[in-house]
């Protein structure tokens, strides 16, 4: 399940993930909600999410983000070692493929939010 919460209305959106989240869940959020964030997006996995994506999902994810993202930054926050590894792989893949917006992976929610506010 993914809860959608505005941090700053029409500027920064938070997507709080709970339980298992598959690529189709992420795709739905990107398509329906990315248009509401002009400045940044925070994917929050601290509450206990299992990110159910694989390396083979990364090109698909990069393509939908390229198509729908209008914001400048995306922050990912997780404390789970497996999710952090997948997110860092995606971060590298997105840079190689010139996917905008810029993105960064964090372990700390406050650091991620501060980076989005810059």
Q: How many CB atoms lie within 10 A of CB 4?
A: 12
Estimate the crossing angle of helix 23-33 against helix 58-68, to 10 degrees. 10
Mean pLDDT of the chain: 94
Tokens of 78: 């997780």
What does the pLDDT look like over 86-116, one tens digit per residue?
Answer: 999 999 999 999 999 999 999 999 999 999 9
pTM for the whole structure: 0.94
Closest to 67 (Cα-Cα) out of 101, 102, 110, 107: 101
Cβ–Cβ < 8 Å for 116, 12: yes
Could you tell me which residues are beta bridge partners of residue 2?
17
Residue ranges in the chain whose pLDDT is less than 70: none
Coil, helix or strand at residue 80: coil
- The DSSP secondary-structure symbol of 99 reads P
Pair type for strands 102-106 and 12-17: unpaired
Domain holding 21, by residue range, is 2-117
pLDDT of residue 47: 87
CATH of the domain at 81: 3.30.750
C-alpha to C-alpha distances, 98 to 8, 35, 86, nearest whole angstrom:
27, 20, 18
Work out how many domains the chain is built from and give that number: 1
């Amino acid at each position: 399940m993914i809860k959608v919460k505005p941090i700053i209305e029409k500027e920064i959106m938070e997507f709080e993930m709970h339980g298992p989240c598959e690529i189709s869940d992420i795709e739905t959020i990107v398509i329906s909600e990315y248009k509401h964030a002009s400045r940044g997006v925070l994917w929050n996995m601290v509450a206990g999410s299992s990110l159910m994506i694989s390396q083979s999902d990364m090109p698909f994810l990069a393509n939908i983000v390229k198509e729908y993202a209008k914001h400048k930054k995306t922050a990912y926050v997780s404390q789970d070692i497996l999710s952090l590894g997948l997110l860092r792989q995606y971060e590298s893949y997105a840079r190689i493929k010139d996917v905008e917006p810029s993105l960064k992976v964090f372990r700390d929610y406050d650091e991620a939010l501060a980076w989005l506010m810059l």
